[in-house]
């Protein structure tokens, strides 16, 4: 009976992690659609408001999962792999919360700045790529897929490369005075938020590696 309750609590924890990450994944997908809409010179205020409104929901999910983890650790006293899974979850949900926060910060910037045709394609690539990283990292963690965890860690190189390219283009434009400097600085900030999202997805995959192997990726 006790063992059955313990297994059920772990399964419930896994389900909550999946639901939580799905909310943030949808925020990234909504952001992609919003950027595409903005590229067509359509109004995006309602879409941005919808993304920004998720802040309280993210925080509540984070608190609930943290409470579940602490309950399992205090009442069930997990050991070995189960303990690593629960302790890794406590770190992973912080990464998920940060990702959601960065999406909201991008939404805040888009209230005032236009990405424009020159940067839209690369920003969209960063948005979609980080969404895929997040989903793959969470899936790998839940299923204990070590190989997939390593793939997610490696895929962050693409995000870093996209950010570096945008940074180089912005520096060149500012130097040549080809564009509004304040707009270009905002573009860098948007790209930087997506780079941080990639870093957090990579961190999730690293905690997945730890959960499976008891060692962090080197």
Mean pLDDT of 161-174: 93
In a domain? residue 83: yes
For 190, the domain range is 2-213
User: What torsion do the CA atoms of 31, 163, 190, 102 make, to the nearest 10 degrees?
Assistant: 70
The predicted pLDDT at position 59 comes to 96
In a domain? residue 208: yes
Question: What are 6-27's pLDDT values in tens digits?
Answer: 889 999 999 999 999 999 999 9
Q: What's the rounded Cα separation, in Å, for the pair 134 and 132? A: 5
The predicted pLDDT at position 2 comes to 60
Q: Which of 156, 137, 151, 136 is nearest to 208 (CA)?
A: 137
The predicted pLDDT at position 174 comes to 85
State how many domains the chain has.
Answer: 1
Q: Considering only 43-47, 79-83, 145-149, 158-162, which range has the smallest mean pLDDT? A: 79-83
The predicted pLDDT at position 4 comes to 84
Mean pLDDT (the chain, rounded): 94
The helix (run of H) or strand (run of E) holding residue 58 is helix 55-75
Question: What are 181-210's pLDDT values in tens digits?
Answer: 888 999 999 999 999 999 999 999 999 999
The b/e string for 134-173 (b: 16+ C-beta within 10 A; e otherwise) is bbbbbbbbbeebbebbbebbebbeebeebbeebeebbeeb
Give backbone dihedrals phi and psi of 178, rounded to 5 degrees, phi first.
-90, -10
- Confidence grade of residue 109 (pLDDT, cut at 50, 70, 90): very high
Question: What are 39-70's pLDDT values in tens digits?
Answer: 888 999 999 999 999 999 999 999 999 999 99
In a domain? residue 218: no
The predicted pLDDT at position 78 comes to 87
- Cα 129 to Cα 32, 148, 154, 213: the distances in Å are 10, 15, 12, 26
In degrees, rounded to 5, the angle at the alpha carbon of residue 55 between the alpha carbons of residues 50 and 61 is: 120
The predicted pLDDT at position 19 comes to 97
Provide the whole-model pTM.
Answer: 0.95
The predicted pLDDT at position 211 comes to 97
The helix (run of H) or strand (run of E) holding residue 79 is none
The predicted pLDDT at position 8 comes to 93
Category of 80 on φ-ψ map: left (φ > 0), alpha (ψ -120 to 50) or beta: left
Give the distance, in angstroms, between the CA of residue 55 and the centroid of all CA atoms in the same chain. 14
Contact 83, 158 (CB under 8 A): no
CATH number at residue 95: 1.20.58.220
- Cα 80 to Cα 83, 125, 211: the distances in Å are 5, 39, 9
């Amino acid at each position: 009976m006790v063992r059955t309750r313990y297994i059920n609590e772990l399964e419930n924890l896994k389900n909550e992690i999946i639901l939580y990450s799905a909310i943030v994944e949808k925020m990234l997908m909504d952001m992609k659609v919003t950027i595409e809409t903005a590229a067509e010179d359509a109004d995006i205020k309602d879409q941005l408001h919808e993304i920004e409104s998720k802040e309280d929901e993210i925080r509540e999910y984070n608190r609930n999962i943290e409470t579940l983890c602490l309950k399992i650790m205090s009442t069930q006293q997990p050991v070995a792999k189960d303990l690593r899974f629960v302790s890794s979850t406590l770190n992973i949900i912080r990464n998920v919360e940060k990702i959601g926060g960065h999406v909201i910060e991008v939404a805040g910037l888009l209230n005032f700045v236009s990405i424009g045709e020159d940067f839209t394609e690369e920003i969209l690539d960063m948005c979609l790529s980080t969404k895929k990283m997040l989903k793959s990292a969470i899936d790998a963690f839940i299923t204990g897929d070590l190989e997939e965890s390593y793939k997610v860690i490696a895929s962050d190189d693409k995000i870093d490369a996209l950010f570096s390219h945008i940074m180089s283009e912005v520096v060149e434009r500012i130097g040549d005075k080809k564009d509004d400097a304040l707009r270009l600085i905002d573009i860098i900030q948007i790209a930087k938020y997506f780079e941080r999202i990639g870093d957090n997805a990579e961190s999730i995959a690293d905690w997945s590696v730890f959960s499976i192997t008891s060692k962090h990726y080197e």
